[in-house]
């Protein structure tokens, strides 16, 4: 049985299911005559709840840090909230009801207020109100909150987990979290991320799954119950890989990208959207060598506005702080089509109207993007890179447009920085003219995928040609050397952002050629870093 949900923290977990038992919290309405004594019962239970939370705060502080423990402190304050307390005591006194009922009813009505807010974060806070209320009710009715009843570690499955419930669990017994409800903003999600435990939400698991074998696959967002042995074996292999990767991460995350003999190289990440940035930072990259701006256009049903683009670029720049972020301008056409651009069907799109060719004939579209990029540059360390260049005249025209944009922004009093400007080297023409092109720009980044297909005259999407599509072709390696030499002669730094950059069988050769930077997918960073650190160029 396989269920698909949403992953809030990636990873693989294999083990038995434990369905979390919240205990029976059915609350009965009982008529009370001595209301003063009932109010006192409530006050005592509230104080006991606060004492429990204070202890949990200390536990959480040690286990998950101050940031996440703070919620326990908030809960204590919520218990003392006069609106909450007065509603409960008022109800006990005027309706002559038991404390359990008054707390439950008040908790529900306050939870409703949060649930109806138009803000996902605040919506998720209704769980906090329910959580403090059920804590008080549990104390009033003399019950203990649920725990894990198992000796071996388990995959914890629940309807939803309240923050106090997740904190009081024994972490060494949890392999993963699976919940039916909850959101990416829920505490389960936040804690799962902090504790590095895979977690899925939105899984409609069957009621009778307690004790069964299961697999959580965070990457796919799947929860597999009673998997066949072959699948378990497969996942054990994946799990080993994951553990290996984690070990690498710990060892290599903050290490420098330098060879044994002291040659250093910049190792950056390629990303396709703002959402990938946390993975870049987690993966240990020291910058972004290729930020593909296409997603803004592909996800939109019309031209994205300057503001929309500005917000996205600014977010990335701010998240990366002073680390370099190379943003590539619009690269659509060929295999990446966008309806509203209304591009004519082409016989040979890979060699057609695409990327910079569109931008230079559609200055309105191009300038909107450049304005957004320059404005965002004030918030971090942005470099701008232009794709599909074949001649000097293009670069000269691009720089003229950049100057126009900057002087417009100056006259409008808008802030910007002087950005480094670079070009993709992905056509044989650009390789032959590397030195000349380099005089106009600050850096090169080699797009090996397109460069290979144009150099070998092989359509990279034609599966029938896979056997002769050789990314290590000597012609290509010779070109890479020409690019580095031409770039260095004209004072540029030179990097690779194509897939070949992550090919560790070539890392040593790239270093020997003189490349200054490699930009690879976030998941490849540590593998490449490990290779770099094992190379000795003096031998």
Partner 1 sequence: MIEIKYTIKDPMGIHARPAGELVKACAAFPCKIMISNGTKSMDAKRIMGVMSLGVKQGTEISMSFDGEQEAEASAAIAAFLEEKL
Nearer to partner 1, 50 or 328 (CB): 50
Q: Give dist(CA 203, CA 356) in Å, integer.
A: 44
Give the nearest distance from C-beta 73 to partner 1 in angstroms. Answer: 6
* Binding residue for partner 1, selected from 57, 84, 416, 510, defined by CB under 8 A: 84
Please give the structure tokens belonging to residue 526.
């540590």
Residue 82 lies near partner 1 (rule: CB under 8 A): yes
Q: What single-letter DSSP state applies at residue 163?
A: H
x/- contact string, 88-127, with partner 1 (CB under 8 A)?
Answer: ----------------------x--xx--xxx-xx--x--
Nearest alpha-carbon partner for 494 in 399, 396, 422, 419: 422
x/- contact string, 25-64, with partner 1 (CB under 8 A)?
Answer: ----------------------------------------
Give the DSSP H/E element, type plus range, for residue 424.
strand 420-425
Give the nearest distance from C-beta 47 to partner 1 in angstroms. Answer: 17
Give the nearest distance from C-beta 194 to partner 1 in angstroms. Answer: 15
Q: Could you give the 3-state DSSP secondary structure of residue 383?
A: strand
* Binding residue for partner 1, selected from 70, 219, 250, 351, defined by CB under 8 A: 70
Piece of the chain touching partner 1 by CB under 8 A; list 46-54, 66-74, 230-238, 447-455? 66-74
Reply yes or no on whether 187 is catalytic.
yes
Give the nearest distance from C-beta 121 to partner 1 in angstroms. Answer: 6
Q: No. of H helices and E strands in the chain?
A: 21, 16
Nearest alpha-carbon partner for 438 in 374, 377, 496, 482: 482
Piece of the chain touching partner 1 by CB under 8 A; list 14-22, 78-86, 350-358, 422-430? 78-86
Nearer to partner 1, 14 or 277 (CB): 277
Considering only residues 269 to 308 of the shown chain, the ones binding partner 1 according to CB under 8 A are none
Nearest alpha-carbon partner for 270 in 259, 258, 285: 285
Give the nearest distance from C-beta 247 to partner 1 in angstroms. Answer: 34
Residue with tokens 């930077």: 517
Using CA atoms, how far residue 407 sits from 244, 361, 376, 380, 415, in Å, is 52, 21, 16, 20, 11
Dihedral over alpha carbons 466, 471, 473, 478 (to 10 degrees): 150
Q: What single-letter DSSP state applies at residue 198?
A: -
x/- contact string, 233-272, with partner 1 (CB under 8 A)?
Answer: ----------------------------------------
Residue with tokens 């003096």: 538
Residue of 7, 187, 402, 492 with catalytic role: 187
Residue 84 contacts residue 78 (beta carbons within 8 Å): yes
Please give the structure tokens belonging to residue 119.
């803000």
Piece of the chain touching partner 1 by CB under 8 A; list 68-76, 356-364, 471-479, 483-491? 68-76
Give the nearest distance from C-beta 185 to partner 1 in angstroms. Answer: 10
Residue 73 lies near partner 1 (rule: CB under 8 A): yes
Backbone angles phi, psi at 445, to 5 degrees: -135, 125
Number of residues that bind partner 1 (CB under 8 A): 21
Q: Measure the CA angle with vertex 26, ends 20 and 29; round to 5°.
A: 165
Q: Measure the CA angle with vertex 437, ends 434 and 443; round to 5°.
A: 85
Q: Give dist(CA 169, CA 163) in Å, integer.
A: 10
Piece of the chain touching partner 1 by CB under 8 A; list 3-11, 44-52, 82-90, 276-284? 82-90
Residue 72 lies near partner 1 (rule: CB under 8 A): no
Residue 83 lies near partner 1 (rule: CB under 8 A): yes
Nearer to partner 1, 110 or 416 (CB): 110
Nearest alpha-carbon partner for 444 in 418, 479, 401: 479
Reply yes or no on whether 440 is catalytic.
no
Nearer to partner 1, 110 or 366 (CB): 110
Residue 178 contacts residue 223 (beta carbons within 8 Å): yes
Residue 81 lies near partner 1 (rule: CB under 8 A): yes
Nearer to partner 1, 80 or 466 (CB): 80
Q: What do you get for the CA distance between the two ends of the chain, in Å?
A: 55
Nearer to partner 1, 91 or 518 (CB): 91
Q: Could you give the 3-state DSSP secondary structure of residue 406?
A: helix
Give the nearest distance from C-beta 501 to partner 1 in angstroms. Answer: 33
Residue 504 contacts residue 527 (beta carbons within 8 Å): yes
Q: Give dist(CA 336, CA 141) in Å, integer.
A: 62
Considering only residues 129 to 148 of the shown chain, the ones binding partner 1 according to CB under 8 A are 129
Nearer to partner 1, 90 or 491 (CB): 90
Give the nearest distance from C-beta 67 to partner 1 in angstroms. Answer: 8
Please give the structure tokens belonging to residue 507.
């890392």
Nearer to partner 1, 121 or 340 (CB): 121
Residue 71 lies near partner 1 (rule: CB under 8 A): yes
Q: Kindly give, in sequence order, each residue whose CB lies less than 8 Å from that of residue 93, ignoring residues fewer than 6 positions away.
A: 35, 39
Q: Give dist(CA 496, CA 507) in Å, integer.
A: 11
Piece of the chain touching partner 1 by CB under 8 A; list 72-80, 143-151, 210-218, 337-345? 72-80
Give the nearest distance from C-beta 200 to partner 1 in angstroms. Answer: 24
Q: Kindly give, in sequence order, each residue whose CB lies less than 8 Å from that of residue 537, ignoring residues fewer than 6 positions away.
A: 259, 261, 263, 508, 511, 512
Give the nearest distance from C-beta 41 to partner 1 in angstroms. Answer: 22
Q: Kindly give, in sequence order, each residue whose CB lies less than 8 Å from that of residue 249, ignoring residues fewer than 6 positions away.
A: 282, 283, 284, 526
| Site of interaction with partner 1 (CB under 8 A) | 70-71, 73-74, 77-78, 81-84, 110, 113-114, 117-119, 121-122, 125, 128-129
User: Which residues have a catalytic role annotated?
Assistant: 187, 497
């Amino acid at each position: 049985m396989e269920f698909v949900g949403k992953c809030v923290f990636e990873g693989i977990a294999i083990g038995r299911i434990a369905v979390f038992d919240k205990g029976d919290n059915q609350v009965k309405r009982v008529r009370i005559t001595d209301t003063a004594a009932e109010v006192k019962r409530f006050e005592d239970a509230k104080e006991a709840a606060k004492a429990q939370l204070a202890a949990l705060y200390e536990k959480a502080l040690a286990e998950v840090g101050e940031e996440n423990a703070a919620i326990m402190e908030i809960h204590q304050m919520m218990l003392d909230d006069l609106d909450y307390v007065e509603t409960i005591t008022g109800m006990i006194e005027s309706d002559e009801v038991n404390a359990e009922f008054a707390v439950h009813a008040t908790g529900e009505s306050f939870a409703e207020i949060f649930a109806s807010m138009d803000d996902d974060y605040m919506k998720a806070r209704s769980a906090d109100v329910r959580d403090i209320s059920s804590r008080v009710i549990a104390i009033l009715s003399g019950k203990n909150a649920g725990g894990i009843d198992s000796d071996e570690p388990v995959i914890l499955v629940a309807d939803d987990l309240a923050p106090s419930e997740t904190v009081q669990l024994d972490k060494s017994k949890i392999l993963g979290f699976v919940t039916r409800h909850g959101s990416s903003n829920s505490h389960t999600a936040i804690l799962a991320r902090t504790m590095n435990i895979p977690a899925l939400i939105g899984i409609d698991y069957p009621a009778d799954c307690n004790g069964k074998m299961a697999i959580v696959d965070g990457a796919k967002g799947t929860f597999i119950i009673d998997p066949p042995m072959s699948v378990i074996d497969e996942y054990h292999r994946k799990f080993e890989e994951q553990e290996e990767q984690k070990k690498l991460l710990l060892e290599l995350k903050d290490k420098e990208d330098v060879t044994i003999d002291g040659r250093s190289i910049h190792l950056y990440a390629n990303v396709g959207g703002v959402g990938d940035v946390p993975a870049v930072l987690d993966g240990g990259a020291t910058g972004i060598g290729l930020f593909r701006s296409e997603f803004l256009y592909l996800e939109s049903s019309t031209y994205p506005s300057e503001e929309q683009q500005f917000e996205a670029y600014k977010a990335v720049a701010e998240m990366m702080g002073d680390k370099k972020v190379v943003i590539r301008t619009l690269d659509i056409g060929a295999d990446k089509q966008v309806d509203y651009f209304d591009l004519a069907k082409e016989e040979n799109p890979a060699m057609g109207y695409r990327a910079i060719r569109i931008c230079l004939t559609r200055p309105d579209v191009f300038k909107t993007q450049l304005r957004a990029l320059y404005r965002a540059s004030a918030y971090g360390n942005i470099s701008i890179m232009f794709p599909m260049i074949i001649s000097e005249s293009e670069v000269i025209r691009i720089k003229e447009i950049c100057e126009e944009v900057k002087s417009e922004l100056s006259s409008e009093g808008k802030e910007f920085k002087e950005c480094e400007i670079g070009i993709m080297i992905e056509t044989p023409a650009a390789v032959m003219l590397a030195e000349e092109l380099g005089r106009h720009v600050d850096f090169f980044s080699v797009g090996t995928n397109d460069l290979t297909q144009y150099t070998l005259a092989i359509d990279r999407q034609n599966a029938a040609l896979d056997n002769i599509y050789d990314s290590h072709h000597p012609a290509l390696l010779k070109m890479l050397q020409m690019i580095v030499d031409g770039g260095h002669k004209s004072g540029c730094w030179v990097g690779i952002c194509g897939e070949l950059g992550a090919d560790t069988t070539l890392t040593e050769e790239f270093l020997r050629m003189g490349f200054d930077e490699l930009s690879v997918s976030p998941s490849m960073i540590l593998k490449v870093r490990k290779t770099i650190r094992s190379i000795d160029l003096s031998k």
